[in-house]
Copies of this chain bind each other. A is one copy, B any other.
Amino acid sequence: MADYRAPLEDIRFVLKHVFNVEEFWQGLEGMGDMDIDTADAILEEAAKICEEVLAPLNREADEQGSQWSEGNVTSPEGFKDAYQTFCEGGWNGLGGNPEYDGMGMPKTLVAAVEEMLQGSCIAFGLAPMLTAGASFAINAHASDELKALYLPKMYSGEWAGAMDLTEPHAGTDLGLIRTKAQPQADGSYAITGTKIFITWGEHDMADNIVHLVLAKLPDAPAGSRGISLFLVPKVIPNADGSLGARNGVSCGSIEKKMGIKASATCVMNFDGAQGWLVGEPNKGLMAMFTMMNYERLMVGVQGISVAEASYQNAAEYAKERIQSRSPSGPQMPDKEADSLLVHPDVRRMLMTMRAYNEGGRAFYIYVARWLDTAKYGATEELRKHADNMVALLTPVAKAFMTDVAFDSAVMGQQVYGGHGYIREWGQEQHVRDIRITQIYEGTNGIQAMDLIGRKTLAVDGGLLALLAEEIRAYCASAGDDHSHLAEALLCALEGLEASTQHILSASKQDPNYPGAIACDYLHYVGYVAYGYMWLQMACAAKQSSSAQAQAKPALAEFFFAYLLPQVATLQQRIESGASSVMGLPMDAF
């Protein structure tokens, strides 16, 4: 198992040469003083803590897991200290609101730090990620009083955050939740109910845990329009921020899982726990959704992160392990055999991993740029355009990134042969860990329904048209160096547009059609988006002399020659319609 190395060089290449972030930041409202040197210093510090403090915990923490005993959760050895170190570095508040002691860094930078955090130890990384998500929702929707009391402690990491949505019978369909919120005389609410799958819902790393809980007010309308959001702390703080009485929140048990074992996935019981409303009554789901674009992108980043760690191991192993001779004759004649790296099938797997991982890295920074624009863009027109781009790209970022990152990690395991199946080598853990990213924060199927429903059918394909326009403009100005790639991209884009038109008309005839091809459509958009990233990276390569940059044109060629052809299959599936998918009656299953 190789030591995790933060992919700093590639992150810098993308930030600086592909997206020219300095100019971008300086055009944002209130970000004018952000420069690339500051960003670089932050990235280097983050890399250090990820490589030196977090990554060394990852393997053993998986074996130990978090442990539950009588309502308490003990995190694996080293987590508590690492969390302390992490908080002291101020990393919890990196993207937080400066009014409440956050550092106010743009998402374009925060996302890159997040990649290193998740890549070094995803189970640990979930704690700051959930805290950041909860802080985000509080900042966006809570009263000034709640913000002042909670946010500084959450940005400092003294208090951690958790999101409490799912119930035993209600996962995707949150309209079914049963947790109740009873108004109290003092303006607070008594929360009663049970939540499951609550990541880091209980642990020993922070002094307090701030739960954001979905619950129903008495007489709330049925379904998803009757859900409200509440802030429910594990320990009720006094007005001065010191800790008061323990609240009626307890952890009933933790799950035994496939992966991310070091993180506690909790059953949380709320027994008349005191909570405070966040945002408007019955608008809890909307409040959650403002945060979801960030969280879903972060889950996509988790996919890339773990797949990158898997690649680093696989490449190292392929260089060191000798086995059989190259088909072109011995490459290491002084050894008993050549390294795995000479074998074209191994090379194919490593190239695929690189193409997906680095394509994904560019893509998450691209999406983060739109998130920054939506928040800090100079004009309302720009912000609105960015909002639309974020709406289109978020489900793709969550689902496509994690789907191909999973394939990537499976390949990283395959490169190891039998050793890939053995726990000590670390590759199988990456597969187990990464698998959750396709499932949580809305399964990838749900992302696909979001893309095809709200983001495509509901707007008559209008959001995709924005991306298409941008890609066409880029291709037109890209110059001759990689014109064959630009042509291939435009060709794939035309196919995607044709499929989109087909979907718009076929959906009118058959209500089952959109769902039947939703995942394929999402993948189609994903391949085109990654193709756009690879074209930009190939074009940007000449601006840098780094080894990472030098590899980009060859990786881009590979992406276009070997991976993009997947769209041929996707197009045929989309055209084949829903009748075969729905061809069996219910009782035939």
Are A576 and B562 neighbours in the complex by a CB distance under 8 Å? yes
Could you mark each residue 205-233 of chain A with 1 if its beta carbon is under 8 Å from any beta carbon of chain B, else 0? 00000000000000000000000000000
Which residues of A156-180 have CB atoms within 8 Å of chain B's CB atoms?
Answer: 166, 169-173, 175-176
Q: How far is the CA of A169 from the CA of B256 in the complex (A)?
A: 35
For the complex formed, measure the closest distance between the CB of A454 and the CB atoms of chain B, giving whole angstroms. Answer: 14
Q: How far is the CA of A424 from the CA of B256 in the complex (A)?
A: 7
Among listed A147-155, A277-285, A507-515, interface-contacting one: A507-515
**Is the contact region of chain A dominated by helix, strand, or loop, or is it mixed?**
helix
Q: How far is the CA of A583 from the CA of B354 in the complex (A)?
A: 12
The contact of A255 among B323, B345, B422, by CB within 8 Å, is B422
Interface residue? A142 (CB, 8 A):
no
The contact of A581 among B328, B344, B579, by CB within 8 Å, is B344
Are A584 and B418 neighbours in the complex by a CB distance under 8 Å? no
Among listed A109-117, A288-296, A438-446, interface-contacting one: A438-446
Are A318 and B589 neighbours in the complex by a CB distance under 8 Å? yes
* Across-interface contacts of A445 in B (CB, < 8 A): 343, 345-346, 349, 414
Closest to A342 in B: B586
Are B323 and A171 neighbours in the complex by a CB distance under 8 Å? yes
Which residues of A467-481 have CB atoms within 8 Å of chain B's CB atoms?
Answer: none
* Across-interface contacts of A577 in B (CB, < 8 A): 561
Closest to A340 in B: B172
Could you mark each residue 349-366 of chain A with 1 if its beta carbon is under 8 Å from any beta carbon of chain B, else 0? 111000000000000000
For the complex formed, measure the closest distance between the CB of A3 and the CB atoms of chain B, giving whole angstroms. Answer: 16
Given contacts A345-B445, A414-B444, A558-B580, contact A327 B420 (CB under 8 A): no
Interface residue? A397 (CB, 8 A):
no
* Across-interface contacts of A328 in B (CB, < 8 A): 511-512
* Across-interface contacts of A578 in B (CB, < 8 A): 344
Are A256 and B423 neighbours in the complex by a CB distance under 8 Å? yes
Are A172 and B324 neighbours in the complex by a CB distance under 8 Å? yes
Given contacts A424-B256, A445-B346, contact A558 B581 (CB under 8 A): yes
Best-buried of A424, A431, A512, A581 by chain B (most CB within 10 Å)? A581
* Across-interface contacts of A172 in B (CB, < 8 A): 323-324, 417
Are A584 and B555 neighbours in the complex by a CB distance under 8 Å? yes
Which residues of A563-589 have CB atoms within 8 Å of chain B's CB atoms?
Answer: 565-566, 568-569, 572-573, 576-584, 586, 588-589
The contact of A344 among B345, B424, B515, by CB within 8 Å, is B515
Among listed A70-78, A131-139, A546-554, interface-contacting one: A546-554
Q: How far is the CA of A489 from the CA of B568 in the complex (A)?
A: 18
Interface residue? A384 (CB, 8 A):
no
The contact of A568 among B345, B569, B586, by CB within 8 Å, is B569
Given contacts A344-B582, A345-B519, A428-B258, contact A323 B173 (CB under 8 A): yes
* Across-interface contacts of A236 in B (CB, < 8 A): none
For the complex formed, measure the closest distance between the CB of A352 and the CB atoms of chain B, giving whole angstroms. Answer: 9
* Across-interface contacts of A579 in B (CB, < 8 A): 557
Interface residue? A518 (CB, 8 A):
yes
Are B418 and A197 neighbours in the complex by a CB distance under 8 Å? yes
* Across-interface contacts of A347 in B (CB, < 8 A): 516, 581-582, 584
Interface residue? A319 (CB, 8 A):
yes
Q: How many copies does the complex hold?
A: 2
* Across-interface contacts of A318 in B (CB, < 8 A): 589
Q: How far is the CA of A515 from the CA of B554 in the complex (A)?
A: 19
For the complex formed, measure the closest distance between the CB of A466 and the CB atoms of chain B, giving whole angstroms. Answer: 25
Q: How far is the CA of A57 from the CA of B275 in the complex (A)?
A: 45
Are A324 and B443 neighbours in the complex by a CB distance under 8 Å? no
* Across-interface contacts of A514 in B (CB, < 8 A): 327, 344
Closest to A583 in B: B554
The contact of A589 among B257, B315, B423, B512, by CB within 8 Å, is B315
Q: How far is the CA of A262 from the CA of B448 in the complex (A)?
A: 37
* Across-interface contacts of A435 in B (CB, < 8 A): 410, 413, 421, 428, 431
Q: How far is the CA of A208 from the CA of B316 in the complex (A)?
A: 41
Q: How far is the CA of A351 from the CA of B351 in the complex (A)?
A: 31
Are A516 and B344 neighbours in the complex by a CB distance under 8 Å? yes
Interface residue? A348 (CB, 8 A):
yes
Interface residue? A432 (CB, 8 A):
yes
The contact of A448 among B345, B350, B413, B444, by CB within 8 Å, is B345
Are A515 and B576 neighbours in the complex by a CB distance under 8 Å? no
Given contacts A519-B345, A580-B561, contact A417 B432 (CB under 8 A): no
* Pairs of residues from A and B, 10 with the lowest C-beta to C-beta distance, nearest first: A344-B515, A554-B583, A565-B572, A258-B428, A344-B516, A568-B568, A561-B580, A561-B576, A558-B580, A327-B511
Given A170-B323, A315-B589, A351-B581, 12 additional A-B pairs, CB 8 A: A173-B323, A173-B324, A176-B323, A318-B589, A348-B515, A348-B519, A413-B435, A417-B439, A421-B435, A551-B588, A554-B580, A561-B580
Q: Give residues in A with beta carbon < 8 Å to B.
A: 166, 169-173, 175-176, 196-197, 255-259, 315, 318-319, 322-324, 327-329, 336-337, 341-351, 406, 410, 413-414, 417-418, 420-424, 428, 431-432, 435-436, 438-440, 443-445, 448-449, 511-516, 518-519, 547, 550-551, 554-555, 557-558, 560-562, 565-566, 568-569, 572-573, 576-584, 586, 588-589
Q: Could you list some 13 contacts between A and B, CB below 8 A?
A: A172-B323, A173-B337, A255-B423, A351-B581, A417-B439, A554-B580, A560-B580, A561-B573, A562-B573, A562-B580, A565-B573, A568-B572, A569-B569
